[in-house]
Amino acid sequence: MARTAFITGSSTGFGKATAVAFGDAGWNVVATMRNPRDWDREPSDRLLPIALDVTEPMSIRSAFEAGVAAFGRVDAVVNIAGIAAFSVFETTPDKAVRLLFETNLFGPLELMRVAIPHLREHGGGHIVNLTSASSIVPEPLMAAYNASKAALDNFSETVRLELAPQNIEVKIIEPGFVPTTALVPKLYASAPTLDIPAAYAAYVQQRMGFFAQLAAEPPVPLPTAEDVAQTILASVNDDARRLRWVVGEDQNERMRMKWSTSEPEYTAWSWREFGPAT
């Protein structure tokens, strides 16, 4: 019997690539998104595009129940739906910060709360949460986004111990910079509309220039959405209880500095890597 994956954020980017990857690997796929008409792939009796708004608990529950009704059970829940924000924290509206946390943290938590009893009843399964490499080594000018992803990262590491006796495994996927997704153009497009006080202007320009240079002339090959999707697929086929899966060669040095050096070394490195130009 084919296994079933329930995937959020499936209309574009990581979510769409993941829905395709799981389908190609023989899984049934519940591909959830705000508007199912956004799904532009060929119809299949093994794939169900369905509406889901991760900020609405009733939408989460009804979508999950519809997925179970369609395929009999769910074996893997993949939390991908999310939003990002490139902004100066001082002038970021409270409404925008709250929406980041509602989408990136509380939505995945609510889906987990719905899915856990089902997974336990059917002998276990996987929960995969897409966070970000910047939840471990935070990018400047993305403070609220980093915090929402770091909270999900920390939560996932903690709750995996609670769920292990129920044969439910939790995985964390931490992508680095992926220039081929819609996220990067959206961040660039929103930049001119930001409220940037004069005190921050030079640093904002410095960081925007960094991303533009990285996309144009990457020092190492940068990952694609398909690379992230294949990592997610590998994580649910892993039986070694590996928790974190970092995607992108560009993150190797950052993770080494975070995990394998002293605090003074990391601090000095982070100022060199991210600090304002003198």
- Select which of 16, 149, 171, 200 is catalytic: 149
145 counts as catalytic: yes
Q: What does the H/E/C string look like for the chain?
A: CCCEEEECCCCCHHHHHHHHHHHHCCCEEEEEECCHHHCCCCCECCEEEEECCCCCHHHHHHHHHHHHHHHCCCCEEEECCCCCCCCCHHHCCHHHHHHHHHHHHHHHHHHHHHHHHHHHHCCCEEEEEECCHHHCCCCCCCHHHHHHHHHHHHHHHHHHHHHHHHCEEEEEEEECCCCCCCHHHHHHHHHHHCCCCHHHHHHHHHHHHHHHHHHHCCCCCCCCHHHHHHHHHHHHCCCCCCCEEEECHHHHHHHHHHHHCCHHHHHHHHHHHHCCCC
149 counts as catalytic: yes
- Select which of 16, 95, 145, 188 is catalytic: 145
Catalytic center residues: 145, 149
